Each structure stands twice: as C-alpha cells, then as structure tokens.
Amino acid sequence: MSAKQPSRQELPQRKLGAHGPVVSALGFGCMGLNYGYANVLDKAAAIQLIRDAFERGATFFDTAEAYGPFTNEELVGEALAPVRDQVVIATKFGFQEGLPGKGQDSRPERIRAVCEASLQRLRTDRIDLFYQHREDTAVPMEDVAGTVKDLIAEGKVKYFGLSEAGVNSIRRAHAVQPVAALQSEYSLWFREPEREVLPLLEELGIGFVPFAPLGKGFLTGKMSAETEFAKDDFRSIVPRFSAEARQANQVFVTLLQEIAAAKRATPAQIALAWLLSRKPWIVPIPGTTKLHRLDENLGAVAIDLTADELRHIDDALSRLQVHGDRYPPEFAARVGR
C-alpha cells in the first residue's frame, strides 16, 4: 500500500456471534477471482482487487484450499501480507487433495495437513477462521471439532467454523469446540436457513456468513433468460440457472428493482441490505471481479430499509416461488443435514 494513496476507508463492524471475531459488516468472497466462474482475473488484477477491498474498509476475506485448488489462497496471502494483522482470513478444509470432485476428507491427519499447507500459502502464522467445507459422514463430527480445538490450543487457528452443515452436526461440533460461524447460502431467493438453522445459531451464539448473497449474480438484475454461460462457469450446470428458470425468477429481480428505485440504490444493494437487516450477527461475503461492483456492494452498508419496506419485501416474497434447484444432484448430496 503506497503512502501516496488516500487514507483507508472504514465500514461498520459486526461480531460473528458470541464466540467469533469482529469483522467488517460485509466481507469479500475471493473464490470468483480465479475459480468457479468464466470471467476470472489474472494474478496481478486479483491481488489489486483484494487490496482495493481492504482500502475500502473490508476486513474479512474468504478463501479455501479447494478454490483453484490452492491458487486462491496464494492470491489472498500475497495480497494481504502487508496488512495481515488488520484483517480476518477465513479458509477451509474438507475435500480429498483439495479437489471437491474426489469427495470429502476430514480425517484429523488431513485437517492438520491442510492447516500447515494453508498457513504457508496464506503467508501467515495462524488461520483466523478455519471452516469444515462440507460434512464428512465417514468422520465423526466430534473428531473434526476436536482436531480444530487442538489446533486452536496450538495457536495455529483462532476460530472454528462450519460450511453448509446441518443442525445436528452444528450441535455436535459446538459441544466439543464452540463454533464461531456457519457459512451457507442465504439470499432473497434461498431462504431455507430461516427454518431451522438461523434459530439454532441464535440459540448457540454462532455467527452466520451467507455466501452467494446476490444469488450468484442473478439478483443484480444484470442477467436474463438470454444470458449464456461458458462451459467452465459453475452456473452452466445449475438447474436454477436454466433459461426457463431465469425467466420465471425474474419476478425477484423486479421486486428488488422496485425497492431500489425508491431508495436510489441498485438491486444488488437492496439484496445485501435486506440480509444485513435480518440479524446483527450476519456478515455476507459477496464476491466480484470488478472494482465498480465492489464499490456498489460495499455501498449497501449505508442503506437502511424501513420496517414498512421490510414488510413489503417479506409480503412479496411470501407470494413468489423460486424455480429450479440451487444445486445439481451430485452437489446437493454434499449439503449437511
């Protein structure tokens, strides 16, 4: 960070539950910088965008060994090395050889190996938040939580997290080592966590980190039934992103556009502001490869939705039906129960 740059901006802060760190109210999901979508950035541009997010007040950065695999952690490590003590870095373990296609692997020895490798790639001496990426039915959750507990005692990890875990697994893990945060999909068009997960998190004092808070780009209003996805874009195999589903789901975008016009905001900002309004311990992690979208997303923290506006949104959503599954069957099978 050059001394000639303007002073760093600040964002409102939130605490991830009773047991977690204090972070910026919006984090930055780094996966899409070089993994999962077709429009990825080269290394220099990706590093710069991460640093731009920090300069604009973001202090919470999300990555995983599986993103790349491995290369996303390297980007995050290099980008944040100059400001390491001012940020919270989250990464994940849980797939064989870091490859989701090979299935889960949360054996204690594998967790330890991932931790050591991630520390090297992230250029750090501790992982702030270490998530189990997906549940491993072959390994008792008590063994997973116990291994991370040991890593915390050794100073290599600060906080334990789970991703897409079910309520039973959350309780079992939390009984061994307090869970700081759960990361799962949550947005205006995927509200399933409200049924069982969010009440449990509130009961146990666990923070919530919604990924895909903009519906993998759909809720921005920049997508239509005519949009085409490259073969290496994850959305090309997702039922909810079929042309027919996108056409049917435009009603969600129309609702956001209506609210946004009244608030002089964008649909993306309203979608994020709605999430921020749900609970004070919710910290969404939108991702982007574009600087102007980063600015747009972070601008959502300044939008206060009134009680009347929130009621209007909830009333409208109660009458809308989402078309298309959020995952193809092989991915849905990984979601915790």
Domain boundaries, the chain: 13-216+275-303
CA contacts within 13 A on the Cβ side of 25: 20
pLDDT band at 39 (very low <50, low <70, confident <90, very high): confident
Alpha-carbon span 51 to 249, nearest angstrom: 34
Q: Residue 336 — left, alpha, or beta (φ > 0 → left; ψ -120 to 50 → alpha)?
A: beta
Task: Write out pLDDT tens, residues 6-15.
Answer: 578 999 999 9
Q: In terms of Cα–Cα distance, which of 167, 164, 223, 246 is closest to 200?
A: 167
Token pair, residue 112, equals: 């330890």
Token pair, residue 313, equals: 């949104």
Q: Are 283 and 207 in contact (CB under 8 A)?
A: yes
Q: Say which CATH topology domain 13-216+275-303 has.
A: TIM Barrel (3.20.20)
Q: b vs e for 93-130, b when ≥16 Cβ sit within 10 Å of the residue's Cβ?
A: bbbbebebeeebbbbeebbbebbeebbebbbbebbbbb
Note the pLDDT of residue 232. Answer: 87
- The whole-chain average pLDDT of the chain stands at 95
Alpha-carbon span 133 to 106, nearest angstrom: 9
Please report the sign of the dihedral spanned by the C-alpha atoms of residue 275, residue 281, residue 285, residue 290: positive
Determine the 3-state secondary structure of 211 from DSSP.
Answer: strand
Res. 4: pLDDT tops 60: no
Q: Which residue has the tokens 């995050």?
A: 76
Range in 34-38, 52-56, 163-167, 251-255 with the lowest mean pLDDT? 34-38
pLDDT band at 3 (very low <50, low <70, confident <90, very high): very low
Query: For 264, which DSSP code?
Result: T
DSSP string, 285-312: ----S-HHHHHHHHGGGG----HHHHHH
Q: Are 57 and 296 in contact (CB under 8 A)?
A: no
Note the pLDDT of residue 6. Answer: 57
Alpha-carbon span 239 to 326, nearest angstrom: 6
- Chain length of the chain: 337
Task: Write out pLDDT tens, residues 261-283.
Answer: 999 999 999 999 999 999 999 99
The active-site residue out of 35, 67, 159, 186 is: 67
186 noted as active-site residue: no
Q: Are 256 and 247 in contact (CB under 8 A)?
A: no
